[in-house]
Amino acid sequence: MQGAWWAFGITVASLAALAYYAFVVLPARIHRWRCDGLRAFARLIELRTQGRYGKAEPMAELASAVAQRLGLPLHERRRMELAVYLRDIGMVAIPYHILNKPTPLTPAERDLMGRHAEIGASITEQIPGLWHVAPIVRLHHVVYSEQPDAPLAAHLISALEDWIRVAESADADTAASVLKQGAGARYHPVVVQAILSEVQQRALDGVQALTRSAALWL
C-alpha cells in the first residue's frame, strides 16, 4: 500500500511539473521568441525612417513596468509588449521620400502618414498567432477624449511614445509637463499618473544608488 501511495505521489508531482512547464515556462519562452523576432522588424523601421519611428527598445521595458503599476494581467502585458514592437510596422507602406522629408508634409502626405496605424493593424492581423495584437496597433495613437474605452494598453503606448519623444528632444521635466497638460484630454489620466510615478521612482532609485556608491568612497 505504501508503495502505491509513493507511486501516486510521484505521478502527481510529475503532472504538476508538466503542467507548470506547459502553462508557465513554455508560454514565457514563446513570448520571448516572438519579441526577439519582432525586435528585428522594429529595427528595420527605425533604420528606414532614420530613427524617427519604430523605436522599441527604450519603450518595451518601461511600458511593461508601467503596465504592472496599472494592474494589467500578464496576458495583457504580453500583448502590449508585442504591440510596442509592431506599432509602426505600417510605415513599410509609406514612401521613403515622405518618411524622411526634410520639409513640412503636405495635407495629403500627412493623411497618408496618419494611415500607418490602420495599415499596421491590417498587416498584424495576417501574422499567425498575432491577430490579437492588431487592435492595440490600430489604436496606438488613440486620443483619450475621443476613445476613452480603448484598451488601456493602447492608451499607455500612446502616452509613453509622446513622453519618450519629448524626453529625448528636450528633457524629462518637459515630457512630464506635456503629459500633465494633456491628462484627461489627449491622454488617459490614470495612465499619465502611472507613467509619472514610474519615472519618478526610477529617478529616486538612481539618486539612492549614486548616494550609496559615493558613500563607499568616504
What gap in Å lies between CA 23 and CA 16, rounded to an integer?
10
Kindly report whether the global pTM for this prediction surpasses the value 0.95: no
Residue 52's pLDDT is what? 76
Q: Which residues contact 92 (CB under 8 A, 6 or more apart)?
A: 45, 48, 123
Domain ranges of the chain: 2-215
Residue 109's pLDDT is what? 94
Mean pLDDT score of the chain, rounded to an integer?
Answer: 82
Residue 205's pLDDT is what? 72
**Average pLDDT value for residue range 17-37:** 57
Other Cβ atoms less than 10 A from the Cβ of 61: the count is: 12
Residue 31's pLDDT is what? 61
Cell output for 217: 568612497
Residue 127's pLDDT is what? 87
Say which residue the cell 529625448 belongs to. Answer: 168
Check if CATH label 3.10.450.100 holds for domain 2-215: no
